[in-house]
A and B are shown apart, each in its own frame.
Chain A
Amino acid sequence: KAGVTQTPRYLIKTRGQQVTLSCSPISGHRSVSWYQQTPGQGLQFLFEYFSETQRNKGNFPGRFSGRQFSNSRSEMNVSTLELGDSALYLCASSTDRGRDTEAFFGQGTRLTVV
């Protein structure tokens, strides 16, 4: 069974540009969540999608957005990039059968803003 796939693995962007990251969940998983990981702030929740609907959103500015497609694949977009957006962005998928269900994480996309 294939795991969660995130593309690309590495990205270098210039301040002010925008970027789109992709996440393909495990087959059959309908919930996809995104997290930002930085040395200073640790792992922070960005948003969660289920059946193409955003169900939950973290405390991030509107420059961060996402969407989910009918096949459960998800994308997140960051517009007007700032140096502070440099981070590892992790996607996680799950079956959404309860609060105790395991979230499976991808390897992440390492975004560097210069």
Chain B
Amino acid sequence: AQSVTQLGSHVSVSEGALVLLRCNYSSSVPPYLFWYVQYPNQGLQLLLKYTSAATLVKGINGFEAEFKKSETSFHLTKPSAHMSDAAEYFCAVSNCGGSNYKLTFGKGTLLTVNP
């Protein structure tokens, strides 16, 4: 079974500071990994995805993530936080069975950005 673990349920940063949200995965096969963002009372929006093409993945809104197989990690970063980045972030892995869209999500990390 595949799974993801997000370290830190709540991360607080100052505006302009580096954002680092951690995600570790467990998978018996090469994983397909995703980061989603959820704003209050909204659905999930894809930030970026890793599909084995490149280990450094760039996404929307200035976010990027690096796939590190040796560390089984896929941490999300942004060089400079903006107030509008305050949201909940979810790391997910897609399963390797017949169905393509059973995403398994981490518990989420709530990002707070302080002025």
**What residues of chain A have their CB less than 8 Å away from a CB belonging to chain B?**
4, 6, 31, 33, 35, 42-43, 45, 48, 50, 55-56, 58, 90, 92, 94, 96, 98-108, 110
Q: Determine which of A31, A33, A42, A100 lies in contact with B49 in the assembled complex, contact meaning CB atoms within 8 Å.
A: A100
Contact A45 B46 (CB under 8 A): no
- Shortest distance from the beta carbon of B93 to any chain A beta carbon, whole Å: 10
Contact A90 B44 (CB under 8 A): yes
Q: What are the residues of chain A within 8 A of B94 when measuring CB–CB?
A: 99-100
Contact B100 A98 (CB under 8 A): yes
Size class of the B contact interface (CB-based, 8 Å): 20 to 34
**Chain B binding surface SS class:** loop
Report how far A90 CA is from B42 CA in the complex, Å.
10
Contact B102 A43 (CB under 8 A): no
Contact A99 B49 (CB under 8 A): no
**Residue in chain B with minimal CB distance to A100:** B51
Q: Determine which of A58, A90, A96, A105 lies in contact with B100 in the assembled complex, contact meaning CB atoms within 8 Å.
A: A96
Contact B105 A92 (CB under 8 A): no
- Shortest distance from the beta carbon of A46 to any chain B beta carbon, whole Å: 10
Q: What are the residues of chain B within 8 A of A35 when measuring CB–CB?
A: 103, 105
Contact A96 B101 (CB under 8 A): yes
Contact B43 A108 (CB under 8 A): yes
**Residue in chain B with minimal CB distance to A43:** B105
* Further contacts, 8 of them, CB under 8 A, given A99-B96, A102-B34: A33-B103, A43-B92, A45-B103, A45-B104, A48-B102, A55-B98, A56-B101, A94-B100
Report how far A106 CA is from B42 CA in the complex, Å.
8
Given known contacts A102-B49, A103-B103, A56 and B98 CB-to-CB distance under 8 angstroms: yes
Contact B101 A92 (CB under 8 A): yes
Per-position 1/0 for B95-115, Cβ under 8 A of A: 111111111111110000000
Per-position 1/0 for B13-43, Cβ under 8 A of A: 0000000000000000000101010000111
Contact A101 B100 (CB under 8 A): yes
